[in-house]
């Protein structure tokens, strides 16, 4: 690729004014985008950054993003700084990206100028300020560090062109600074990695003699300093970031590249802003195609032309790489290759294309500058047309989002304040935005503690947390939760505020005690004994997938019954939130049956204890109902249309009303307390990656626990109090959290015979 033009550059003052104008354009475009109702409040991912910033303000420091060990906390620390000055808000959270992203304008100007001269730099800066919709959206969507990583990679790439082709004063200090930026960028997001790798490769190819200078040592020292938070965190967390890199798809290079070209790379340039979301369908079909053919295809052609130039120079026994343009071309080709062969190359995830926008923007600027040199009118018209197209896609996005409500969260929080709700359970996509936008008035935790387990523990300790779902997000769908609460026996009219549906002020669960299993027997529909009362979790009764299945229980004599609790086996593949059709009937004579409770949407894991209704880790089925005098119970399990495992019952607990809670033996209580203490080490790092995200995360958390000791304590508690449900529930929870280790320890689950003379 030819060296940049040799015309005199405008004065430093003109350059400074031009850069200021480009930065103003950058801000204007993104502030315009922020005016969309869809961006008026944070969503799930953004709320994590905001909550981390608030936590940092409280003196709690974090090295990596909650639940995702491939992003750091630079963005959260920057947000905490703005919050400290201006107060927490959605706008301040978004302004973090505008401030940091402005550095990208300067880096792209520098890259364009190094590769094609001053005017090429101006065009590159302009195309970064008013880019494809995808990059503008990345510039306002606060996802934890991706933009910071891409901008850091662009700065490193620009610095490398200076180091490779100089002249430059104090190159060692320059290398130290670039290493620091590269390290900070990699800590912020692994998206910086391909840009940094391509930049270093370009430097080594363009100037191999640099290796024998002090430069590599300075670059390495700066890099280690910048990336040290990532290294420190990984040293204590089994190097989970390395696991997250995802392996290689080298054997699938061609099909991955074809899929990415069609579904990601081209769509990112022509109106897409997120996975599967684009405004390209709202414009004439020829328009995106024209942009690709007239701008981006020739820009990619420059990279291929550069490869041909390398071959020609090598044939003439000349060094192939001799300009900044060569490094830009190499960067594009390297990034396309890395994206296609990475562990994420088979996924049509739009944001992973963000690093590509750096070389694509510079090459597009070089093409437009070159065309302007050949045909000034055509070049300027094409530049104006591209800018107009990008502006048009932004307009279409805003038009599409115009009908959405603006900050519906405010009315929801107002109603929750009026209802006195301070704590709540919800799916993370609902809980985290509510928690951040409330400014501390409400703490809503994910059902299972995703992102921050300590939030879940705080809600658990509260007196009467609410339960919140959302109509659009449907996690779960409010109608389904409503039915599930009916089946649980604790339904009450919910508070509906727009898309939010809230159940709060639950009554206290009745005082109950379990019926001794010695008094009753269970059998299946054919009269065969069902092992649901032996207090051995390894023996199970399974319902059928294809037809009705019945579980019959003879209590021996009429007894008052008020609750049933069905515990699954330790190897059941069901999950909390799955729902089944179960009908519970009662009889005094075994012939005349009356429905007591049940029906559709019996939700596994939903429980009622005290004034707390919660979706638990263990997917047991619980039914509560008005006390009824019964001798016979019949539980009918209907076939399931979903591709879910049929219901499995390892243990059945039957409860009757009591004047006071049962008093369990001191030995059982002591062993249970020791078991809980051992299990607590599973989440001793409450903001470490949550196991739902990756099996490696689960392995790390499981490694924190002494499973042998834990299971010994829980089995001892269960043996000392056979009718106590909690030791068995904790054993099942341990199995789910301990992967194979805890499950293996349940193989011999029989209690030892009582000692001679014991009562």
Residue 749 lies in a domain: no
Exposure letters 494-526 (e unless 16+ CB within 10 A, then b): bbebebbbbbbebeebeebbbbebeebebbbee
Q: 3-class SS at 657?
A: strand
For residues 329 and 303, the answer to whether their CB atoms sit within 8 Å is: yes
Query: Cα(first)–Cα(last) distance of the chain, in Å?
Result: 92
DSSP 33-78: HHTSGGGSS--HHHHHHHHHHHHHHTT---SB-TT-TTBBSHHHHH
Phi and psi for 104 in degrees, rounded to 5?
-65, -35
Q: How confident is the model at residue 1 (pLDDT cuts 50, 70, 90)?
A: low
Is residue 754 scored above 60 in pLDDT? no
Place of tokens 């249309």: 641
In this structure, the answer to whether residues 573 and 530 fall within a common structural domain is yes
CA distances (Å), 91 to each of 241, 252, 397, in order?
Answer: 30, 42, 19
The verdict on residue 722 lying in a domain is: yes
State the DSSP code for 139.
T
Together in a domain, 611 and 478: no
Summarize pLDDT for 209-232 with one digit per residue, the tens: 899 999 999 999 999 999 999 999
Bridge partners for 602 per DSSP:
580
Q: Is residue 89 part of a domain?
A: yes
Mean pLDDT for the chain overall:
92
One domain for residues 103 and 128:
yes
Q: Does 171 lie in the same domain as 24?
A: yes
Q: Are strands 521-524 and 549-567 parallel, antiparallel or unpaired?
A: antiparallel
Residue 758 lies in a domain: no
Place of tokens 């048009």: 392
**DSSP for residue 406:** S
Per-residue DSSP letters for 352-386? Answer: GGGGGHHHHHHHHHHHHHHHHHH-HHHHHHHHHHH
Q: Based on C-alpha coordinates, what's the Rg of the chain?
A: 31
Q: Are residues 365 and 412 in the same domain?
A: no
Count of domains in the chain? 4
Mean pLDDT value across residues 704-732: 94
pLDDT of residue 169: 81
Q: Are residues 318 and 259 in the same domain?
A: yes
Domain boundary among 445, 470, 503: 503
What is the Cα–Cα distance from 103 to 131, expressed in whole angstroms? 15
* Model confidence, pTM: 0.92
Contact (Cβ atoms closer than 8 angstroms) between residue 464 and residue 609: no
Closest Cα partner for 709 from 747, 754, 741? 741
For 512-620, strand residue ranges (E) read 512-514, 521-524, 541-542, 549-567, 579-587, 594-603, 606-609, 612-615
Same domain, 678 and 630: no
C-alpha to C-alpha distance for 135 and 156, rounded to whole angstroms: 19
User: Does residue 633 have a pLDDT over 70?
Assistant: yes
Q: What is the pLDDT of residue 757?
A: 41
pLDDT in tens, 151-194: 999 999 999 999 998 778 888 999 999 999 999 999 999 999 99
758 has pLDDT over 70: no
pLDDT of residue 237: 87
Tell me, what's the pLDDT at 7? 64
Per the domain annotation, does 754 fall within a domain?
no
> pLDDT at position 139, please?
95
Could you say which of 657, 684, 706 is where a domain stops?
657
In this structure, the answer to whether residues 678 and 622 fall within a common structural domain is no
Is 380 in the same domain as 434? no
Q: What pLDDT score does 22 carry?
A: 98
d(CA 716, CA 322): 74
pLDDT at 242: 83
Quote the domain boundaries for residue 726. 666-744
Q: Residue 542 in contact with residue 646, Cβ under 8 Å?
A: yes
Query: How confident is residue 690, by pLDDT bands cut at 50, 70 and 90?
Result: low
At which of 657, 682, 702 does a domain end? 657
pLDDT tops 80 at residue 197: yes
Please choose, from the candidates 434, 442, 497, the residue with its C-alpha nearest in 3D space to the C-alpha of residue 465: 442
287-328 per-position pLDDT tens digit: 999 999 999 999 999 999 999 999 999 998 888 888 999 999
591 by DSSP, 3-state: which?
coil
pLDDT of residue 351: 92
**pLDDT score, position 682:** 86
Confirm whether 679 is domain-assigned.
yes
Please indicate, yes or no, if residue 543 is contained in any of the structural domains.
Answer: yes
User: DSSP assignment of 254-291, as one string?
Assistant: HHHHHHHIIIIIHHHHTTEEETTEESGGGS-THHHHHH
Q: Are residues 622 and 708 in the same domain?
A: no
Q: Is the peptide bond before 167 cis (omega within 30 degrees of 0)?
A: yes
Both 219 and 325 in one domain: the answer is yes
Cα–Cα distance, 451 to 467 (Å, whole number): 18
Residue 317, classed as helix, strand or coil, is coil
Residue 517 has a pLDDT of 87
Percent of the chain with pLDDT over 90: 81
Count CA within 13 A, CB hemisphere, residue 643: 0
Q: 462 and 571 share a domain?
A: no
φ, ψ of residue 111 in degrees (nearest 5): -65, -45
Non-local (6+) Cβ contacts of 441 within 8 A are 413, 417, 422
- pLDDT over threshold 70, residue 701: yes
Stronger pLDDT, 635 or 474, i.e. the higher one: 635
The reply to whether 752 falls in a domain is no
Q: What is the pLDDT of residues 443-484, one digit of tens each?
A: 999 999 988 999 999 999 998 999 999 999 988 999 999 999
Q: Has residue 759 got a pLDDT over 70?
A: no
The H or E element containing residue 148 is helix 146-165
Q: What average pLDDT does range 549-566 have in this prediction?
A: 95
Report the largest interatomic distance among the alpha carbons of the chain, rounded to a whole angstrom. 105
**Which token pair is 630?**
């019964």
Q: Could you tell me which residues are beta bridge partners of residue 606? A: 615
> What pLDDT score was predicted for residue 117?
94
Residue 353 and residue 359: Cα distance in Å, rounded?
Answer: 11
Q: What is the CATH number of the domain that holds 533?
A: 2.60.120.260
């Amino acid at each position: 690729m030819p060296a940049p033009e040799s015309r005199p550059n405008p004065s430093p003052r003109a350059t400074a004014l031009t850069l200021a104008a480009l930065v103003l354009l950058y801000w204007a475009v993104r502030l315009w985008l922020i005016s969309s109702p869809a961006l008026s409040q944070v969503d799930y991912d953004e709320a994590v950054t905001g909550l981390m910033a608030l936590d940092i303000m409280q003196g709690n420091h974090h090295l990596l993003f909650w639940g995702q060990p491939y992003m750091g906390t630079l963005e959260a620390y920057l947000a905490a700084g703005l919050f400290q000055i201006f107060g927490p808000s959605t706008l301040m959270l978004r302004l973090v990206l505008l401030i940091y992203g402005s550095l990208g304008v300067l880096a792209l100007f520098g890259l364009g100028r190094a590769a094609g001269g001053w005017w090429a730099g101006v065009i590159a800066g302009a195309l970064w300020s008013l880019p494809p919709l995808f990059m503008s959206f990345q510039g306002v969507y606060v996802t934890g560090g991706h933009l910071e990583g891409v901008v850091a990679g662009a700065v490193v790439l620009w610095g490398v062109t200076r180091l490779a082709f100089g002249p430059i004063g104090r190159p060692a200090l320059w290398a130290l600074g670039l290493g620091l930026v590269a390290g900070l960028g990699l800590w912020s997001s692994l998206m910086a990695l391909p840009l940094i790798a391509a930049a270093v490769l370009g430097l080594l190819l363009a100037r191999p003699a640099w290796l024998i200078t002090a430069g590599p040592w300075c670059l390495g020292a700066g890099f280690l300093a910048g990336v040290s938070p990532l290294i420190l965190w990984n040293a204590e967390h089994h190097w989970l970031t390395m696991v997250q890199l995802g392996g290689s798809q080298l054997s699938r290079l061609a099909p991955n590249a074809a899929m990415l070209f069609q579904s990601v790379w081209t769509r990112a340039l022509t109106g897409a802003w997120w996975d599967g979301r684009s405004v390209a369908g709202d414009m004439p079909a020829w328009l995106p195609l024209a942009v690709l053919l007239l701008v981006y295809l020739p820009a990619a052609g420059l990279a291929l032309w550069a490869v041909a130039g390398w071959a020609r120079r090598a044939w003439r026994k000349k060094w192939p790489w001799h300009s900044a343009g060569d490094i830009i071309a190499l960067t594009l080709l390297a990034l396309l290759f890395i994206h296609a062969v990475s562990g994420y190359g088979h996924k049509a995830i739009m944001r992973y294309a963000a690093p590509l926008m750096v070389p694509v923007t510079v090459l597009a600027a070089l093409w437009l500058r070159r065309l302007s040199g050949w045909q000034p009118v055509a070049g300027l018209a094409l530049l104006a047309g591209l800018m107009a197209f990008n502006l048009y896609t932004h307009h279409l996005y805003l038009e599409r989002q115009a009908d959405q409500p603006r900050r519906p969260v405010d009315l929801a929080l107002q109603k929750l304040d009026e209802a006195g709700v301070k704590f709540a359970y919800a799916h993370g996509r609902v809980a985290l935005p509510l928690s951040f936008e409330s400014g501390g008035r409400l703490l809503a935790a994910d059902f299972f503690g995703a992102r921050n387990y300590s939030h879940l523990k705080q809600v658990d300790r509260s007196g009467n947390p609410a339960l919140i779902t959302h109509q659009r997000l449907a996690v779960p769908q409010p109608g389904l939760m409503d039915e599930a609460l009916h089946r649980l026996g604790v339904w009450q009219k919910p508070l509906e505020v727009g898309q939010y549906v809230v159940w709060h002020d639950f009554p206290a669960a009745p005082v109950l005690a379990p019926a001794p299993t010695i008094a009753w027997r269970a059998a299946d529909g054919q009269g065969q004994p069902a092992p649901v009362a032996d207090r051995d979790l390894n023996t199970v009764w399974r319902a059928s997938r294809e037809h009705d299945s019945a579980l019959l229980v003879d209590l021996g004599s009429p007894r008052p019954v008020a609750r049933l609790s069905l515990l699954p086996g330790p190897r059941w593949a069901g999950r909390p939130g799955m729902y089944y059709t179960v009908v519970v009937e009662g009889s005094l004579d075994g012939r005349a049956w009356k429905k007591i409770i049940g029906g559709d949407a019996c939700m596994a894991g939903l429980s009622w204890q005290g004034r707390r209704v919660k979706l638990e880790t263990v997917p047991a089925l619980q039914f509560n109902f008005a006390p009824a005098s019964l001798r016979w119970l019949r539980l009918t399990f209907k076939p399931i249309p979903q591709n879910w495992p049929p219901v499995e019952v390892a243990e059945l607990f039957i409860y009757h009303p009591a004047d006071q809670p049962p008093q369990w033996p001191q030995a059982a209580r002591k062993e249970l307390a020791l078991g809980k203490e051992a299990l607590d080490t599973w989440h001793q790092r409450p903001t470490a990656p949550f196991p739902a995200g990756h099996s490696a995360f689960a392995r790390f958390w499981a490694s924190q626990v002494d499973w042998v000791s834990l299971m010994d304590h829980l089995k001892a508690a269960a043996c000392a109090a056979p009718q106590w449900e909690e030791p068995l529930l904790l054993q099942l929870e341990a199995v789910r959290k301990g992967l194979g280790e805890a499950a293996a320890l349940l193989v011999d689950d029989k209690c030892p015979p009582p000692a001679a003379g014991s009562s």
